[in-house]
Amino acid sequence: MKKGKTFSAVFAVIVILGFTASFTFAQGVGRARQEGTLKDEKGNPVANAAVSLQYMGTMDRRGQFVPTPAGQEPHVVNTKTNKNGKFTFISLGSGIWDLSADVAGYPTLTRRINISQVGRNPHLRLTLTKDRDTAIQEKVEEKLSKDADLVQQGNALYTEGKYEEALEAFKGFQEKTPEFFEIYINIGNCLVKLEKYDEAVAQYNKFLEVAKEKELKVELQAQAMASIGEIYLKKEDMTTAQSYFMKSIDLNPKDEILAYNVAEIFFGNGNNEEAIKYYEIASKAKPDWGDPYVKLGYVYLNLGDMKKAVEAFSKFVELDPENPEVPNIKEVIKGLKEM
């Protein structure tokens, strides 16, 4: 009888432990093992990639998915691939798991898998794939690397003032790589130098059409609009020119160089009032920059406003005391104050 009690007690303990273990395993902890290999789209193993598994739930006897209770802390295990792209998870419970792999330059790879503690789980063979836009961009960059000599040649010719030859180089590049829509700007710049203004505007607009559609290259969009504005200024269409300049600044209000260059265009064309407006925009975009103030000083001199000229020149000296122009500007200030 005594031996029977002992046997019963031991059996009860085993049953209790069995129920406890089954409950624990159901939450994602157990004795299952899951292995896999991660490769890129070219078949090369991806080393040191972060791979994780999150327990999502189990399947009931009817084959229906039963998720983990709402509010329960998710059970997550993490690992990394070795030099051969292999990863291993151990001590897993039976059930449905979400696997994810994060690798720079790729969208997160995700898989939902069913892990069992009975038998061997199939080896996972995972391949990273780039999203469509990334893949297209990489193909463009690959083509660019092959045809970049034409762009470099075009840039060199443009710098030398050989605009016809530069235009041919840029057009040759465009024929080989039409996906690189930024080349429209290079072509437009050459056409401006050749005084083919309508053709230049058409090229800038082609760039803007693609860039706006894809919501890309905001800085270049702003520059293209400023270039169109400059063309209309050359045509003495001040109203249209100003509208494009304002659009360019609205697109990129923090670009002090853009605002400064627009101011320079107006200043060079003798439009002092508009020059003041854009020099001030540039100074607000970068308050510690002295160049807009020295130019404001000259604009106010042209307008005969000596007081504001002195204020602007003095601000320049204050902001950029080491500038080699400072001694000359100090003499100008001194002369103005003595007038």
What percent of the chain clears pLDDT 70, i.e. is strictly above it? 86
DSSP-assigned letters across all residues of 41-84? TTS-B-TT-EEEEEEEEEE-TTS-EEEPPTTPPP-EEEEE--TT
Mean pLDDT check: name the lowest of 10-14, 65-69, 118-122, 280-284.
Answer: 10-14
pLDDT at 138: 54
What was the pLDDT predicted at 155? 85
Please tell me the predicted confidence (pLDDT) of residue 72: 82
CB contact at 8 A, 70 and 86: no
Q: How far is CA 90 from the centre of its chain?
A: 38
* Average pLDDT for 247-276: 89
Q: pLDDT grade, residue 149 (50/70/90)?
A: confident
Size of the chain, expressed as the number of residues it contains: 339
131-234 maps to CATH 1.25.40.10: yes
Domain with CATH 2.60.40.1120 in the chain: 30-130
The answer, yes or no, to whether residue 313 has pLDDT greater than 50, is yes
Spatial separation of the C-alpha atoms in residues 48 and 15, rounded to whole Å: 43
From CA 26, how far away is CA 34, in angstroms rounded? 16
Cite the residue boundaries of each domain of the chain with CATH code 1.25.40.10. 131-234, 253-339
Q: Give whichever of 9-18, 20-29, 320-329 has the largest mean pLDDT.
A: 320-329
**Angle at alpha carbon of residue 120, lines to 114 and 123, rounded to 5°:** 70
Q: Is the pLDDT of residue 22 over 80?
A: no
Q: What is the DSSP letter of 118?
A: S
Question: What pLDDT is attached to residue 300?
Answer: 95
Q: Which residues contact 85 (CB under 8 A, 6 or more apart)?
A: 37, 38, 39, 44, 45, 46, 47, 49
The answer on pLDDT for 232 being more than 50 is yes
Alpha helices (H) in the chain, listed in sequence order = 2-26, 132-159, 163-176, 183-193, 197-214, 218-234, 238-251, 256-268, 272-285, 291-303, 306-319, 326-338
Lowest mean pLDDT across 136-150, 170-184, 310-324: 136-150
- CA distances (Å), origin 6, targets 10, 11, 13: 6, 9, 11
What average pLDDT does range 246-253 have in this prediction? 90
The pLDDT score that the predictor gives to residue 265 is 86
Judged against a pLDDT cut of 60, whether residue 88 lies above it is answered with: yes
pLDDT band at 89 (very low <50, low <70, confident <90, very high): very high
Assigned fold of 253-339: 1.25.40
For residues 284, 285, 291 and 292, what is the CA-based torsion angle, rounded to 10 degrees? -50
Does 142 score more than 80 pLDDT?
no
| Mean pLDDT score, 321-337 | 92
Structure tokens at 295: 């130019």
Q: What residues contact 38, with CB distance under 8 A and at least 6 apart?
A: 45, 46, 49, 51, 81, 85, 86, 87, 101, 103, 109, 126, 127, 128
Fold of the domain built from segment(s) 30-130: Immunoglobulin-like (2.60.40)
Average pLDDT of the segment spanning 302-307: 94
Task: Give the position of tokens 């040191």.
Answer: 48
